[in-house]
Structure 1
């Protein structure tokens, strides 16, 4: 059966899709995810996992108007979108001009069953009328091979199969199969359910299964958030950030993806388009630490299993900065010619050449991510001597390369320097190894690692300081400013009240800040001078301000960042300081980490109200 032509004339009253934006909600279950726009259209979902084929790719455009899963209302007048409190279950209300409305409930099932987590690669969409009998239309137009392949359609009494040469999707529904296939409008007079997933039959009826999955998924997320150790203030923002980070975990291996998307430009028309659907050791460490601060240590335990495999497989001591979520070491970068890109701002990239880089901060990120496991008595599998010895091999590499040029944490493709942030993290590796050895009652090794750390610290504080700029520069002997040096206080190499750190913050504010927002660095890179503010840098500034006692300023900037989130509480990678618009891949774990860290640092204590 041939798919209807999505570019054909739309029925009266059904408007064409609105332009793409990042006012998106995310549902997922730690196996896959889907991004849904304010009108209830699924515009992005990669299957069968985060870095898979985007069977719904409308976020990056389409050559034939397909690549989405829309449930539309005729004569749309307004829409409203919100999460069920403390969950990853998304509600979208659509209302027509006559006051008739419907509710779409979207989620990916996740709940304990038979001693494990049940997390099928299934999107559940439940639709019910809220008032009247609105006229609706279902448009389900998946594509395979990055938009290049239109699936063959077959159907049965209660299902439709979308068949490709490498995967097949099955929609199981209690709606009219004919209406879905023809995309013809119909009156919504009762609840209807759409379960899209693998080509497998259900054990129970469609409606019963959808209702059961929803109730169990709601219960799971409410119980999960109930166990979080929240700050007193900004709790809703922290909960949404924590759920978003949890949804970024690929539970099968323990990997944590940096973002769900590829090729959302860092700034309009710049070609700064990258694929972030992989696990960066740097980003993953910050995610683990943020969730640890909320007493959610399970993610750390899962991630450390993944990390151990990455480190054990290291070649000659070198650890690459990112991997595929299944520990793939080769992520060749290519251009996808089938899709025009976000708002027609290509290119669309698949894979990431940064996998080939030498980024020396990775060794500190490895040790820092694992450090708590040696001190935390709550863990089911606390780390011990064997894990320490594996980390020592990482530390030895940090000692060898801490003062060697690399691509740096910003992954510069044509310029290598001895980056201050990379040397800093090598120091952190040695410093934490000394503390771990002390905990394990290994005084000789503790002294040895502390000796390395002391030597590195002296060189970092001396060779990165630029007297002319009165600031720590981005590289040894350099003069350019870089926001990453703010991590010096966060990881503890310098007292934040040290006059050099205070002077550095002042210089960064003068040269990298656009009002409350902070850019990454001032020197031009491979694509020129950065235009947008990098959200995590703004959060580093907030942390630094709080550490030096400028708490009121820190709180004001934090409130600005909260206002910069989309209506569902999520941030992308970058913010345009003039328009306030979000740019860069979405949702960005680094940015969501910043929300948690800032709230935990700035919140009033619980004992002020109890």
Structure 2
């Protein structure tokens, strides 16, 4: 049985990542990329689907864990009756092959330890051929090879590799697991202690570059713990970056349920265009211009081509075909099935992503990122395409699997696209049919105000003619469509507080199977809660904004990580974990609430 999500930590090398449990077990790891088949898939099944546990043999009296400050190097301490051991886990940032390094050190007394390694390639389905080698084992199945090197004796036991050893105070044992293509020569052994030190130094150097505006990360916020939360979120965001291309995965996991026992289980190991502007802003305000530039370049490469074929998401290198499959041999996290790989939503029509792309590239101009040659010509092609489709229904931001509708958020983002095109001409001297774009911008604005606002409810609704509320309309003031103090927006916030806010957190929308095509039931969507905090700040309700933000910070796990959603009834994180979009929301809201700016969310304004 996998642990609650709160009990997992993230380690990674900026090309893939692992989840390490509080019990010392790695229950999820895909080699060699985020979207590769998992070699440890116990997270979605049980131990026989692959895991790697190193822990004391006796009863654990206490467990403490932390990241070394400013790093993704994890330390877990176990107290047992006879002493204390510390387990250090990390994955060195790499140029070629991925490694997982694990070091056990006895801090006090004498502790008997056990290592249990169950390798199952292809999402827990393939038992490899294992051979004993000098100082470890090798495991092969088809294209995949794993090499374990360790200084303790190991032996086979029921199709797993185990080791039992005892450490006295001051003694240590090291473990190094390396993946490489089975047709290639075995990589040379690395210096274990040196690699951990180098990994710590790499992360410290990266996180020490964090700066907001004129000050450092630590000095930019009203409250000290906000700076810590932002720094951890930035490190998490960096860990979810696929370094070779600059793409950023939404999460390193698949099929973690939005509702325990439910069917809303999706693969998030891909890159969504919708995250583009938020991601760019978070990186730029934190001083990470190189990462922002890499993300911008990934974005342009991914969407290049015929505008009508632009997708809402792509693979790590911009791959377009992401077919969705189910894995029947995995029962799912806490019985939440089906387990899916791939994501069928990649071929949906979602109008809003055109606005997100235009908004992201508009922001690049505003912050001074040098232009790429294809950028403006590509944007003009996107605008030509949008002219013919903005008035069509779509699947919307939440990727519904019901009938297409005229979603308010989608129309707002179409307005954003034309607005940013107009600004490119007016403010940055680009060429284009500005009169036509200005006319369409104004037409869309009038239509949304006329067809999305319900006077009886006193709020903007999910779609034209709908009686359902949707938290995505909280984006309207964030993108500059309407003033946050406009009575219609004030009424919308009040309606969302009444009907979508539960125990301090915000649901995405009022569920209706006729709209989303799925059974009801999911946790509160955490990015929506950050958007509400941003609206509070822009409306002048600063105390309410801070209260909501502090509430969101309180549900992070002990290492500062957040998932996509939160089950308020169970008091548990749900959805894929950790979630980039959630941590981006945390970064942006912390900045909006800080003394560093008097204009919250002005990055999305149309000025």
Contact 2:277 2:363 in 1 (8 A): no
Q: Could you say what secondary structure the match of 2:192 adopts? A: helix
CA distance in 2, matches of 1:18, 1:344: 10
Aligned to 1:506: 494
Q: Could you say what secondary structure the match of 2:204 adopts? A: helix
Farther-moved stretch of structure 1 (446-455 vs 571-580) = 446-455
1:520 aligns with 2:501: no
Contact 2:322 2:344 in 1 (8 A): yes
Aligned to 1:395: 383
Alignment partner for residue 566 of structure 1, among 539, 554, 557?
A: 557
1:471 aligns with 2:459: yes
Farther-moved stretch of structure 1 (581-590 vs 154-163) = 154-163
1:165 aligns with 2:165: no
Aligned to 1:188: 167
Aligned to 2:244: 252
Contact 1:434 1:448 in 2 (8 A): no
Aligned to 1:485: 473
CA-CA distance at 1:20 after TM superposition = 4.6
Q: Could you say what secondary structure the match of 1:102 adopts? A: strand
Q: Could you say what secondary structure the match of 1:295 adopts? A: coil
CA distance in 1, matches of 2:272, 2:339: 20
Aligned to 2:605: none
Q: Could you say what secondary structure the match of 1:196 adopts? A: strand
CA distance in 2, matches of 1:18, 1:329: 32
Aligned to 1:228: 210
CA-CA distance at 1:577 after TM superposition = 1.8
Flag the 1:144–1:402 CA change in 2: closer, same or farther, 3 A: same
TM-score, length-scaled by structure 1: 0.90
Q: Could you say what secondary structure the match of 1:80 adopts? A: strand
Alignment partner for residue 212 of structure 1, among 189, 194, 199?
A: 194
Contact 1:273 1:347 in 2 (8 A): yes
CA distance in 2, matches of 1:438, 1:492: 17
Any stretches of 5+ residues in structure 2 without a counterpart?
Answer: 212-216, 599-607
CA distance in 2, matches of 1:394, 1:257: 24
Q: Could you say what secondary structure the match of 1:359 adopts? A: coil
1:379-418 map, 5 Å: 379=369, 382-383=370-371, 386-418=374-406
TM-score, length-scaled by structure 2: 0.91
Q: Could you say what secondary structure the match of 2:104 adopts? A: strand
CA-CA distance at 1:182 after TM superposition = 5.1
1:220-299 map, 5 Å: 220-229=202-211, 230=217, 231-232=220-221, 233=223, 234-299=226-291
For each residue in 1:60-96, what CA deviation from the matched residue of structure 2 results, as whole angstroms up to 9, or x when unmatched? 113x634111101022222111100111111111121
Contact 1:421 1:484 in 2 (8 A): yes
CA distance in 2, matches of 1:460, 1:166: 53
Q: Could you say what secondary structure the match of 1:566 adopts? A: coil
Flag the 1:93–1:328 CA change in 2: closer, same or farther, 3 A: same
Contact 1:317 1:393 in 2 (8 A): no
1:109 aligns with 2:92: yes
Any stretches of 5+ residues in structure 1 without a counterpart?
Answer: 1-16, 111-116
Q: Could you say what secondary structure the match of 2:174 adopts? A: strand
CA distance in 1, matches of 2:188, 2:37: 27
Aligned to 2:117: 140
Contact 1:486 1:544 in 2 (8 A): yes
CA-CA distance at 1:267 after TM superposition = 0.9
Contact 2:393 2:406 in 1 (8 A): yes
Contact 2:115 2:162 in 1 (8 A): yes
Corresponding pairs, count: 576
Alignment partner for residue 583 of structure 1, among 549, 574, 577?
A: 574
Farther-moved stretch of structure 1 (130-139 vs 217-226) = 217-226
Alignment partner for residue 51 of structure 1, among 35, 42, 50?
A: 35
CA-CA distance at 1:606 after TM superposition = 9.7
